[in-house]
Amino acid sequence: MMLDTNILLDALVYSNMLALLSLSLTLTIMTLKVANFAHGDLAIIGVYGAYTFLILAHVATYLTLPIAFLFGGLYALLNYVLVYSPMRRRGANFVMLMIASMAIDIATRSMLQMYADVLKLNFKVYSRAFIFNDVVFNIAGTRVRGLVLISTLSVVSLLAILYVLLMKTKFGVAMRAAIENPALAEVLGINVEKVYATSWFLAGGFAGVAGFFLPFRIPTSPDLGFIILLPIFAASILGGINSLSGAVIGGYIVGVSEILGTYLLSQPPINLSTAYRPAIPFAILILTLLLLPQGIASLWSRGE
Amino acid sequence: MANVFEIDELKVGYGKLEIIHGVTFSVEKNELFVIVGPNGSGKSTLLKGLFGLASIKGGKILFNGEDITKLPPHERSKLGLAYHPQLNNTFENLTVRENILLAGYFLDRDELERRLENVLEFLPEIRGFMERKVKTLSGGERQMVAFAMNMIKEPNTVMFDEPTAALSPKMADLIFDRIRRLKTEYGLTVVLVEQNAKKALEMGDRAMLLVTGSIKYLGPAQELLTHEDLASMYLGLRD
Amino acid sequence: MINLFLLMVDIGTMYGIFLILASSMELEYGELGIPNFGKVMFFAAGAFTVGALAVRIGTWLAGITWEGEFKTKSILYSTLVSRYFASHPLDAIAVFLFTLFLASIMGAVLGIVASYPAIRLREDYLAITLIAAGELFRIFGRNYDPLIGGTMGVGVPDVLAWLPSGAKEAGYILLSLSFAAATWLILYRLSTSPYGRTLRAIRDEELAASTLGKDIVKYRMRVLALGSAMAAVAGVIYAFYMGSVLADDFNPLKTFLVVLMVVLGGSGNPFGTLVGVAVYILLDRTLAILKHYVVLPFDINYFAMFLFGVLLLLVLMYKPEGIIPERPLLTVRAKFCRREDGTPERKLCD
């Protein structure tokens, strides 16, 4: 039984996506204090945006990556400005905000389904289970799949941008302040609503970028956003829900475990159906909640 | 000389609850005005009302002649009014420098640097922990950071809500000393809410005794300190 | 043309089934404050029990020898068993009661298992845990063929086959509505009794309730066991009414719809549940009928779901207390406010 390089590379690509998704989920949880059950849908909104652009403009696939960012970001921003922010101003409690995110999930997915119908009708294209064709780069004699290269580069550069924004700019300091103590930030004259809305836009953009990579790996459909929700939550909770770095590491742990675990369990002598794949993030989720409820971030922030 | 505060029949509360039941008083310019009273008398609520953090149920607040009753906190802040909350007055996960920088969010870089120098001259102790996260600091050091965050705004009036609560006597003396210097050296107006009534009244000009949301005494601070009934009944200053 | 009689049967039976589900959700969420987002799992437990057992017991009672795979032959054998039931009503009733009994026990046991995380986790963690557990349950049903026929689904014999046509359909309405009535009455009695006041005390102020000597863990465990058994009963009736069980039918959307009904009607008030279910069923059926008359560039089912999502959002935003709000006379409700940073704060809010 040998793990070939393709599976390891697939694990890397999947983990790259998951890291972006759990990082962005964590960013929204830090502002709203409630987990957003429509987070996976932001990725799908992003990829449908990019796909639509591809149908209309016939450009190289990777050039539509920023479109995915934009669509994901704008949709998340709309969610925050139109629903969460007014609800919170009216004193909605924790469970109500959570149910609202579930309602947004249902509305978003059915909206995407309707959109897929319209797309198919008007452009005669695959609007469900569509895939993106990859390109192969030749770097110093080594052939590298575009997906491996671009997804890794995207994660590295987005993380770097986020780090600089949060740690080195005045707006980033204001963002961290507004997340930690919105009341005090307000007193100091910081527009907390604006800061939160920006966080949502960024989070949606990150999710959109992750979504862009989906059709390179698997056929993509509107409901995929809900299917990937479990590993995203598992990664975010494993990361400690209030730690951005924890979320990224959680994304890689869950992603690699899911891909390698599913592969190993489907081999002889176990021969388990790959349909049981969600059992792996589920197990990680349960184990985290039982053994390390504060997540892995508590391992290094303890004692501070 | 115009008063800094003219408070007329002010009612303050939260939601449906009224805690301050119509108080009328004024604070003079360059005065150290002390508000004392037993626990739950509404001292903190009154300060929050003056800064726009609790809802005004009635009455009027004039600040330097301007009606600020309905202004949001950051607008009051722009008029030179500063408020030093008792709790949660700093961002724990940020460094001291970042905290102070945030307080001066709207200043340009040069102006911020200039003011920061002034503040560090006034509170030189902070120099020792500028780059540390607030959550690693002691209670007294945190109070000094919160103090600095207000000073960077160069206010004309500062309202303190129990700045020495839970501090060691030595640290409390230091804070009291700086508060006094705000008035004497910098000519600011200070409103001070204190649990430590004795210390506060000793250095105050005038004082107000607040009991269950109403004024029980308003006059010279020294007089309240030596008042036979009030001092022992409400402030525990006599046996 | 739409057959009005069959439409009424469908509306009546589905109303009953969803009323049972919504009553159990109202009991757990509205009264006790545990949002059970794994509802569909307990519903499926009931249906899967029927799917796995009804046709097997039926063939045994009828003395039919099974030939061929369960997955491919269950529909055929369920038709044969239905034919046998047509002349053996007592056997049919026995199968119904036996599966009902077993399913409610299954539901209750699963409910007790679910109470373990429900007592310990914050609501959003709990929700994702229960949703994922339900999904794994569904995936298991879908992939393990001997249980309920995998992706093909399983046939369920008609336990009312002994009634003449017409009376049989009415029989299903009656069955569904009488179980719904019983479930709702249990909810109503609990809600208006001292027990219900205790539940709401726990919901609103856990610490205070525990200082009054209430064993919160035990209360939550019991309520989840009861609520889950109720959902399993709904699954049993659903399986017999539909005549088949298909694993993929039991997806998280079902839970969402039940939540929609409870919130729409007004959580915390059993009468709200009655209304919420009715509004949903009528809206859903109207859209299903409209499907025959309106031409849209997309599937109207998606439009219906979109509408339900937006409807729930609007209710949450503009009328969070629902159509029939909770009556404050039953309990003085101390609202749990949140500070702007989201941490709970004990104070009265507007």
For B138-152, the pLDDT digits (tens) are 989 999 999 999 999
pLDDT at A186 over 90: no
Considering only CB atoms, which chain C residues are within 8 Å of B16?
348, 350
Give the whole-angstrom CA distance, residue C209 versus residue C199: 9
Question: Is there a contact between B83 and A187 if contact means CB atoms under 8 Å apart?
Answer: yes
Mean pLDDT of chain A: 93
pLDDT at B126 over 90: yes
Question: Is there a contact between A110 and C123 if contact means CB atoms under 8 Å apart?
Answer: no
For the segment B12-19, the average pLDDT, to the nearest whole number, is 86
Task: Judge whether A102 is closer than 8 Å to chain B, CB to CB.
Answer: no
Question: Is there a contact between A100 and C313 if contact means CB atoms under 8 Å apart?
Answer: yes
Distance from CA of A197 to the nearest CA of C (A): 15
Q: What is the pLDDT, as a whole number, of residue B129?
A: 94
Give the whole-angstrom CA distance, residue A293 versus residue A276: 25
Q: Which of B86, B102, B159 to mutate to test the interface with A (most CBs of A within 10 A)?
A: B102
Which residues of B29-148 form beta strands (DSSP E)?
32-36, 55-63, 66-67, 81-84
Question: Is there a contact between C313 and A289 if contact means CB atoms under 8 Å apart?
Answer: no
Considering only CB atoms, which chain A residues are within 8 Å of B51?
187
Which of A32, A180, A278 shows the shortest C-beta gap to C136? A278
| Angle, alpha carbons B146-B148-B150 (nearest 5°) | 75
Which of A177, A185, A304 shows the shortest C-beta gap to B135? A304
Considering only CB atoms, which chain A residues are within 8 Å of C306?
106-107, 110-111, 114
Considering only CB atoms, which chain A residues are within 8 Å of C308?
106
Considering only CB atoms, which chain B residues are within 8 Å of A243?
none
pLDDT per residue as tens digits for the range A197-239 = 999 999 999 999 999 999 999 999 999 999 999 999 999 999 9
Which chains does C contact via 3+ CB–CB distances below 8 A? A, B
Residues 17-76 of B with CB under 8 A from C: 17
Considering only CB atoms, which chain B residues are within 8 Å of C349?
15
Give the whole-angstrom CA distance, residue C168 versus residue C181: 20
Give just the sign of the alpha carbon dihedral C55, C58, C62, C64: positive
Distance from CA of B175 to the nearest CA of C (A): 29
Q: What single-letter amino acid sits at A63?
A: L
Q: What is the pLDDT, as a whole number, of residue C296?
A: 86
pLDDT at B131 over 50: yes
Question: Is there a contact between C298 and A106 if contact means CB atoms under 8 Å apart?
Answer: no
Q: Which of C335, C339, C348 to mutate to test the interface with B (most CBs of B within 10 A)?
A: C348
C253 → chain A, closest CA residue: A106
B13 → chain C, closest CA residue: C348
Residues 202-241 of A with CB under 8 A from C: 226, 229-230, 233, 237
pLDDT at A277 over 80: yes
For the segment A151-174, the average pLDDT, to the nearest whole number, is 95
Angle, to 10 degrees, between the axis of helix B96-103 and the axis of helix A170-180?
100
Which chains does A contact via 3+ CB–CB distances below 8 A? B, C
Task: Judge whether B123 is closer than 8 Å to chain A, CB to CB.
Answer: no
Which of C125, C304, C337 shows the shortest C-beta gap to A237? C125
Distance from CA of B15 to the nearest CA of C (A): 5
Considering only CB atoms, which chain B residues are within 8 Å of C347?
14-15, 17
Q: Which of A187, A193, A304 to mutate to test the interface with B (most CBs of B within 10 A)?
A: A187
Q: What is the pLDDT, as a whole number, of residue C186?
A: 94
Question: Is there a contact between A86 and C317 if contact means CB atoms under 8 Å apart?
Answer: yes
In this structure, how many other beta carbons lie within 10 angstroms of the beta carbon of residue A69? 26
Give the whole-angstrom CA distance, residue A113 versus residue A222: 6
Beta strand pairing call for B206-211 and B66-67: unpaired
B99, B90 in Cβ contact below 8 A? Answer: yes
Instruction: Tell me which H or E stretch contains A219.
Output: none
Rounded to a whole number, what is the largest CA-CA distance in chain C? 69
Mean pLDDT of chain B: 90
* Residues of chain C with a CB closer than 8 angstroms to some CB in chain B: 347-350
Q: What is the pLDDT, as a whole number, of residue C2?
A: 61
Distance from CA of C113 to the nearest CA of A (A): 13
Q: What is the pLDDT, as a whole number, of residue A17?
A: 97
Beta strand pairing call for C344-346 and C336-338: antiparallel
B-to-C residue pairs, Cβ atoms closer than 8 angstroms: 10
Residue C283 lies in a domain: no
Residue C276 lies in a domain: no
How buried is C350 (Cβ within 10 angstroms: 0-12 exposed, 13-18 middle, 19+ buried)?
A: exposed
Which chains does B contact via 3+ CB–CB distances below 8 A? A, C
Question: Which DSSP state fits C324?
Answer: S
Distance from CA of B217 to the nearest CA of A (A): 31
Which of B73, B93, B103 shows the shortest C-beta gap to A180? B93
* Count: domains in chain C: 1
User: Which is higher by pLDDT, B1 or A178?
Assistant: A178
Task: Judge whether B14 is closer than 8 Å to chain A, CB to CB.
Answer: no
Residue C338 lies in a domain: no
Of B210, B209, B198, give the one whose Cα is nearest residue B238: B198
Considering only CB atoms, which chain C residues are within 8 Å of A238?
none
Q: Which of A188, A195, A245, A302 to mutate to test the interface with B (most CBs of B within 10 A)?
A: A188
Structural domain including C21 reads 4-251
Q: What is the pLDDT, as a whole number, of residue C192?
A: 86
Give the whole-angstrom CA distance, residue A114 versus residue C297: 8
B95 → chain A, closest CA residue: A173
Give just the sign of the alpha carbon dihedral B66, B68, B74, B75: negative
Task: Tell me if residue A288 falls in helix, strand or coil.
Answer: helix
Distance from CA of A196 to the nearest CA of C (A): 12
Instruction: Tell me which H or E stretch contains A136.
Output: strand A136-139
Task: Judge whether A191 is closer than 8 Å to chain C, CB to CB.
Answer: no
Question: Which DSSP state fits C31?
Answer: I
Give the whole-angstrom CA distance, residue A8 versus residue C245: 39
Question: Is there a contact between A177 and B149 if contact means CB atoms under 8 Å apart?
Answer: no
Q: What is the pLDDT, as a whole number, of residue A270?
A: 85
pLDDT at A146 over 60: yes
pLDDT per residue as tens digits for the range B176-213 = 999 999 999 999 999 999 988 888 999 999 999 999 99
pLDDT per residue as tens digits for the range A15-38 = 999 999 999 999 999 999 889 999
Task: Tell me if residue A81 falls in helix, strand or coil.
Answer: helix
C348 → chain B, closest CA residue: B15
C128, A229 in Cβ contact below 8 A? Answer: yes
Give just the sign of the alpha carbon dihedral C322, C324, C326, C329: positive
Task: Judge whether A181 is closer than 8 Å to chain B, CB to CB.
Answer: yes
pTM: 0.89
pLDDT at B25 over 90: yes
Considering only CB atoms, which chain C residues are within 8 Å of A278?
132, 135-136, 139
Question: Is there a contact between A190 and B102 if contact means CB atoms under 8 Å apart?
Answer: yes
The ipTM of this complex is: 0.93
How buried is C63 (Cβ within 10 angstroms: 0-12 exposed, 13-18 middle, 19+ buried)?
A: exposed
Give the whole-angstrom CA distance, residue C214 versus residue A145: 62
Give the whole-angstrom CA distance, residue C130 versus residue C37: 6
Percent of chain B at pLDDT exceeding 90: 66
Tens-level pLDDT at each residue, chain C (350 residues): 468 888 899 999 999 999 999 999 999 999 888 889 999 999 999 999 999 999 999 999 999 998 888 999 999 999 999 999 999 999 999 999 999 999 999 999 999 999 988 888 888 899 999 999 999 999 999 999 999 999 999 999 999 999 998 899 999 999 999 999 999 999 999 988 888 888 888 888 777 777 766 678 888 899 999 999 999 999 999 999 999 999 999 999 999 999 999 999 999 899 999 999 999 999 999 988 888 888 888 888 899 999 999 999 999 999 999 999 887 644 444 444 444 444 444 444 43
Q: What is the pLDDT, as a whole number, of residue A301?
A: 67
DSSP string, C12-24: HHHHHHHHHHHHH
Sketch the domain layout of chain A as residue ranges. Answer: 9-124+137-222
Q: What is the pLDDT, as a whole number, of residue B238?
A: 56
Task: Judge whether C287 is closer than 8 Å to chain A, CB to CB.
Answer: no
| Angle, alpha carbons C129-C135-C138 (nearest 5°) | 145
Residue C306 lies in a domain: no
Question: Is there a contact between C347 and B15 if contact means CB atoms under 8 Å apart?
Answer: yes
Q: What is the pLDDT, as a whole number, of residue B106?
A: 82
User: Which is higher by pLDDT, C206 or A253?
Assistant: A253
